[in-house]
Amino acid sequence: MGRDPKVWEDPMEFKSERFLTRGDGMPQAFDLTGSREIKMMPFGAGRRICPGLALALLQLQYFVANLIREFEWTVKDGEEVDLSEKQYTILIMMKNRLRTHISPRRV
């Protein structure tokens, strides 16, 4: 399925934009479990689902928590944080990017 030309245009080429936007340029909310669509299921589904799915998701949370703990995150000089949102079908995103300065925490 991952290389099926009926599912993907140019299946042998790496094109990251497939996972970033839909055909109309709107952000794509990708379903990793295959419960909504079966174009991309890196962890499988049903009885054959990868037993490492829960571990992989926990590792991602652990990784982000460590980034927050180990680094000091500050807004770039002179910039204000704009928390306005853009809402898409399923997804809510910040309207403007949050530009930060990241530095190691002082012990």
Is 39 annotated in a binding site? The answer is no
Q: How far apart are CA 15 and CA 28, in angstroms?
A: 14
Q: How far apart are CA 47 and CA 13, in angstroms?
A: 30
Partners of 72 in the β-ladder:
103
Q: Which residues of 6-98 form beta strands (DSSP E)?
A: 71-75, 85-87, 92-94
Annotated binding site for heme: 50
Annotated binding site: 50
